[in-house]
Structure 1
Amino acid sequence: MPTVLLVRHGRSTANTSGVLAGWTPGVGLDDRGREQAEALALRLGELPLAAIVSSPLQRCQETVAPLVAKTGRKRVTEKRLGECRYGDWTGRKLSELVKEPMWRVVQAHPSAAVFPGPDGESMAAMAARGVAAIRHWDARIAAEHGPNSVWVACSHGDVIKAIVADAMAMHLDNFQRIVVDPGSVTAISYTETRPFVLRVNDVGGDVSAYQPPKVKRRRRRSSDAVVGGGAGA
């Protein structure tokens, strides 16, 4: 099956001000974030990307814009890749939220965390929609472009961490152990029986390993892990 390159948006103005942005409109990239977006376009732009799928939020749209310009590949917006809806926590300082009783739930038992307010979402619901979106697009891209395809999905830290946790068969309560920095790339390949997590939180590595093999007839990716670990890409 295809390989998805999960890109976290570049550093945003909310990141630098210590604010939980959520779905707040108008939160874009700061200067460092724009540099990260340009660097991502240079790194990933030479790959034959089958699709560029993005969260609808401005910081993700801005992150993939240079990659869209470099590749000429049309950007597709996927609402299910949007940030968790933090409800009444949205727009508040992280330095204030850390004092809230629910902060410990978010840290230690996120599967039980439901953010307060009428627009608040549970972290479990966020994880479910994020995973569903990735699996939906991966199957669609496999059908349309073949099993060796490579594609990009741009999303947010918690969403990507939840997708990685699912791919590693890790309970959501452990997903805070995963680090996903702004502008990073995380690679997952889904097969018929299991996903393979190829790379996590890569902020500058060589991506040539994701070039599809030059074969006359495309082979289906094996679901078997290499005993002993293999020789690498």
Structure 2
Amino acid sequence: MTIFRLDLLRHGEPQGGARFRGDGVDDPLSDLGWQQMWSAMGGEDLPHALPWTQIISSPMQRCQSFARRLAECTGLPLAIESRFREVGFGAWEGRTRAELRAQGPEYQAFFADPVNARPAGSEPLEDFYARVIHGLGHIQQEYADQHVLLVTHAGVIRATICYALDIPLKAMYRIKIPYAGVTQVEADQMGLSLMYVNRLQGLAP
């Protein structure tokens, strides 16, 4: 039986701390962010054999910088896939939650219905979901019997979980994804299954 296994690793903390970063704001990882990413690997000295055959990354530097470094350290091939960049937040790009709460009801409306109450100029959530699922289908076919690491964003991981569990997009932001958290899915002839969510340290082979 052919099994495709995918580990989705969220990037670590970017410089500038917590704020809305979609595909329009792309701060580099902070020192803490780098530590978080290496911690997810079990340490910067890579003390165990890593299980992957392929690394894939979002093109955004908060993902790609670590993915490239990991590929250099391990000799694993790296592919950059634009379909796994973060959802665009439009007018909210670079804003903090505190700033948005102070502006009025738009912030609460977004979390109540992120499909219809989008920030001005943002990417439609249905379009974002469609490109992520299209990307998943592509890599599942390309690496059908392999174990792949995808370095990506919270939104991409949420969309993947929604797809695996058939969760409506309206509930997407009820899923919390921490910095450097790892979520795993598997696919076989029965479809996509969620194996675990938000593992934070020491990925075992």
Q: 1:77-226 counterparts in 2 under 5 A?
A: 77-98=80-101, 99-117=103-121, 120-142=122-144, 147=145, 149-204=146-201, 206-208=203-205
- Report percent identity of matched pairs: 28
* Maintained 8 Å contact 1:41/1:67: no
Asked whether the equivalents of residues 6 and 149 of structure 2 are also in contact (C-alpha less than 8 Å), the reply is: yes
Say which SS state the counterpart of residue 53 (structure 2) adopts: strand
Equivalent position SS for 2:115: helix
Aligned to 1:67: 70
Consecutive unaligned residues of structure 1, counting only runs of 5 or more, are 209-233
TM-superposition CA deviations, 1:194-227 (whole Å, max 9, x none): 211001011025523xxxxxxxxxxxxxxxxxxx
| TM-score, length of structure 1 as denominator length | 0.78
Are 2:21 and 1:21 aligned?
A: yes
Aligned residues: 199
Does the CA contact (< 8 Å) of 1:115 and 1:122 recur in 2? no
For structure 2, the residue ranges without an aligned partner over 5 or more in a row are none
Between 1 and 2, higher relative CO (CA 8 Å, sep ≥ 6) is seen in: 2
Residue 91 of structure 1 aligns to a residue whose secondary structure is: coil
Letter in structure 2 aligned against 1:67:
L
Q: CA deviation at 1:150?
A: 0.6
SS in 1 for 2:149: strand
Point out the structure with max Rg over C-alpha: 1
CA distance in 2, matches of 1:25, 1:104: 22
RMSD (Å) for aligned C-alpha atoms: 2.0
User: TM-score, structure 2 length as denominator?
Assistant: 0.87
Change (3 A) 1:102 1:9: same
Mapped to 2, the partners of 1:108 and 1:197 lie a distance apart of: 25
- Provide Cα deviations, 1:132-167, integer angstroms capped at 9, x if missing partner: 21221111101xxxx2x2101111112211111111
